[in-house]
Amino acid sequence: MRRAGIRDVADLAGVSISSVSNALNRPDAVSEQLRTRVRAAADQLGYVPLRAAQQLRAGRSGLIGMTVISIGNPFFAEMLEGAEEATSAAGYQVMLGNSDDSAQRESSYLELFELAHVEGVIVSPFGDVAPALKRLRAQQIPVTLVDGIDEQGLTPSVSLDNVQGGRMAVRHLVEIGRRRLAFVGAREEVRQTRDRLRGAASFAEEAGVPLDVTIGLRTTPRLGSEIGARIAGMPAHERPDAVFAANDMLACGIVHGLLTAGLRVPDDVAVVGYDDIPFASIAAVPLTSVRQPARAMGRRAGEMLVSLLRGEGEQPPATEVFAAELVVRASTVG
Amino acid sequence: MRRAGIRDVADLAGVSISSVSNALNRPDAVSEQLRTRVRAAADQLGYVPLRAAQQLRAGRSGLIGMTVISIGNPFFAEMLEGAEEATSAAGYQVMLGNSDDSAQRESSYLELFELAHVEGVIVSPFGDVAPALKRLRAQQIPVTLVDGIDEQGLTPSVSLDNVQGGRMAVRHLVEIGRRRLAFVGAREEVRQTRDRLRGAASFAEEAGVPLDVTIGLRTTPRLGSEIGARIAGMPAHERPDAVFAANDMLACGIVHGLLTAGLRVPDDVAVVGYDDIPFASIAAVPLTSVRQPARAMGRRAGEMLVSLLRGEGEQPPATEVFAAELVVRASTVG
């Protein structure tokens, strides 16, 4: 079935094309009777004078594609909301591809966005997106990165210093007197995980404190809870006295698992998370967390993309690095 | 800049088009030298033999558009994941439009999806989507609804009986002896809010128990926390002894606000939430919640859409209604 056009509406309503156009676009300028007649015909045919379709004919879809690692993590939902704020202010709408911890899904979205007529792309990278960035550049589709950087320096990016964030978390645990630390993290393919671990390990080494490492996990509260139960089940002399979890989804679960098994947080085990998602402050024990300004980062990546779309991008491409901030709550300082 | 085609790659590599095709699609069938040469040319031009582009030429984008009310609520993230599971099993990828409590944004996404060449659409409706459904029908783009129904019965849907869910929550509070109830809910434009309130109000009336109603809210933990503090600030004889919050984001926040103000949950105020998001069970006080099987609902809506795309849709359109289930935890029964 061919899409109904304005001519079809005019034919069915028995009026001229310009009458249809006036009735739909400047309803106050026509009679109530004409308006009703044209609307009835348009409804019958399923015709809508798409603002979007008009934009597309003018070479503008108004669409921006965005991928994030896992939308189930409220951190990424906030980042998306920030990107939406910045781009909708400039007349764009974001369509999201949820990479869901899969490099294959991620690269597939980055192909599909082209077909979907997006004008620009925001990538919060999971895997190696260099080939996709190269292809998008070749198609002259502007891209910005958020929570990631382009090693080649060709793509504007907004990131956070996760090495510093990792150091910050472990320094805090050492400062409050903890001496047997554990790091619990997501997939090691994820650069953020590796950087947080690197920072954590470097500070632990400098302080001469052992750091037990568990990575490669899906980051869900449920899995965190299982890990908390496992830690609680260890003999007291082997058990870590502090856990640094590489995101709050895991950390909230770990606290729950520890409490459920009868341990005290932070007395027996202190817990630090990462991201400072909205639930961190209202968790079973309010969570100490390395705060990332997710919304501000998403907003900045959106603003940078809008600049590129307006032909106002900077050379060399801007790279903004946000600083991590430790928010101390009851999960470490009771 | 025109998109580089296979002919451009062949010209640059100085080989035939079929050599390019072989080198890229059946690399084992050609010499290492040809492979290297073709890949270098393809890289230089930013040419990639898009599986997706091939699909599109064959009239298939492989794309499905989906809107949800607010992706910041983990309930909708789980629903999306369910829809992704069902549709990716059939070779599709979902692109998400986050309506974010805006009927205008929602209807705009439902227009934009058409331009983005989606083959099908899953809508978790916020506003009145009837005009959009009509238009999509006219374009022969299959649609399923999730967490919503089509009053006209023309669109397959997966929903949950929210009136029953609302009754269930209030019945539980009355059964544990509560006599001054409060309902706290999201925007009243949202059918789900109205249905939950209707169920809650009908049971409260039958039981002869007063129900104080506050609706029209953005559903964030922070706002919930403010409401909890406000309730805690009321004189004891006016204060509700139980709160039914129309989603867990609010309910978790309310519990936190009550605790922070020094009240006991459930002793002073019992709290019931709705959705049973992953954080509900690990909240400050594990939350009693009316469980919605978000993932299963999303999966079912995805399966129904795949059936429609295969021309296997049912007549009349299937409408599946899931039952709500009360999960009792410490926020009501200490």
Give B1's contacts in chain A (Cβ within 8 Å): 138-140
| Cβ within 8 Å, pair A95-B112 | yes
User: Quick check: do A61-160+294-323 and A162-293 share a fold?
Assistant: yes
Residue ranges per structural domain of chain B: 6-49, 60-160+294-322, 162-293
CB pairs under 8 A between A and B: 179
Q: Tell me, what's the pLDDT at B1?
A: 43
Give B81's contacts in chain A (Cβ within 8 Å): 72, 98, 100
Q: Tell me, what's the pLDDT at B53?
A: 53
- Each residue's pLDDT tens digit, A294-311: 999 999 999 999 999 988
Residue A46 is nearest to which of B65, B81, B138, comparing CB atoms?
B138
Measured in angstroms, the CA of A1 and the nearest CA of chain B are apart by 7
- Each residue's pLDDT tens digit, A98-107: 999 888 899 9
Q: Tell me, what's the pLDDT at A1?
A: 43
Closest by alpha carbon to A303, among A75, A64, A70? Answer: A64
Residue B115 is nearest to which of A45, A56, A112, comparing CB atoms?
A56
As a whole number of angstroms, the distance between CA B55 and CA B41 comes to 23
Q: pLDDT grade, residue A53 (50/70/90)? A: low
Q: Tell me, what's the pLDDT at A83?
A: 98
Token code pair at residue A311:
């032909």
Give the CATH fold of the B60-160+294-322 domain: Rossmann fold (3.40.50)
Give B105's contacts in chain A (Cβ within 8 Å): 88, 93
- Each residue's pLDDT tens digit, A174-217: 999 999 999 999 877 788 889 999 999 999 999 999 999 998 77
| Cβ within 8 Å, pair B252-A282 | yes
Average pLDDT for chain A: 90
Residue percentage of chain A with pLDDT more than 90: 63
Give the CATH fold of the A162-293 domain: Rossmann fold (3.40.50)
Measured in angstroms, the CA of B277 and the nearest CA of chain A are apart by 10
Give every CB contact of residue B334 below 8 A, 6+ residues apart in sequence. Answer: B265, B266, B267
Interface test with B, best of A152, A281, A282, A287 (most B CBs within 10 A): A282
Domain A6-49: assigned CATH number? 1.10.260
| Cβ within 8 Å, pair A134-B283 | no
Give A93's contacts in chain B (Cβ within 8 Å): 97, 105, 108-109, 112
- Specify the CATH architecture of the domain A61-160+294-323: 3-Layer(aba) Sandwich (3.40)
Does the pLDDT at position A35 exceed 80? Answer: yes
Interface test with B, best of A2, A44, A45, A71 (most B CBs within 10 A): A71
Interface test with A, best of B43, B95, B254 (most A CBs within 10 A): B95
Residue B97 is nearest to which of A95, A131, A220, comparing CB atoms?
A95
Residue percentage of chain A with pLDDT more than 70: 95
Give A77's contacts in chain B (Cβ within 8 Å): 71-72, 77
Q: pLDDT of chain B along its 334 residues, tens only?
A: 456 777 788 888 998 878 887 787 677 778 888 988 988 888 787 776 655 555 555 557 789 999 999 999 999 999 999 999 999 988 899 999 999 988 889 999 998 898 888 999 999 999 889 999 998 988 889 999 999 999 889 999 999 999 999 999 999 999 999 999 999 998 777 888 899 999 999 999 999 999 999 987 788 888 999 999 999 999 999 999 999 999 999 999 999 999 999 999 999 999 999 999 999 998 889 999 999 999 999 999 999 999 999 888 888 899 999 999 999 999 999 7
Q: pLDDT grade, residue A49 (50/70/90)? A: low
Q: Tell me, what's the pLDDT at B44?
A: 81
Q: What is the 3-state secondary structure (H, E, C) of chain A?
A: CCCCCHHHHHHHHCCCHHHHHHHHHCHHHCCHHHHHHHHHHHHHHCCCCCHHHHHHHCCCCCEEEEEECCCCCHHHHHHHHHHHHHHHCCCCEEEEEECCCCHHHHHHHHHHHHHCCCCEEEECCCCCCHHHHHHHHHCCCCEEEECCCCCCCCCCEEEECHHHHHHHHHHHHHHCCCCCEEEEEECCCCHHHHHHHHHHHHHHHHHCCCEEEEEEECCCHHHHHHHHHHHHCCCCCCCCCEEEECCHHHHHHHHHHHHHCCCCCCCCCEEEEEECCCCHHHECCCCEEEECCHHHHHHHHHHHHHHHHCCCCCCCCCEEEECCEEECCCCCCC
Give B255's contacts in chain A (Cβ within 8 Å): 282
Tell me how far CA of residue B1 lies from CA of A139, A140, B4, B5, B42, in angstroms. Answer: 7, 7, 9, 12, 16
As a whole number of angstroms, the distance between CA A275 and CA B120 comes to 35
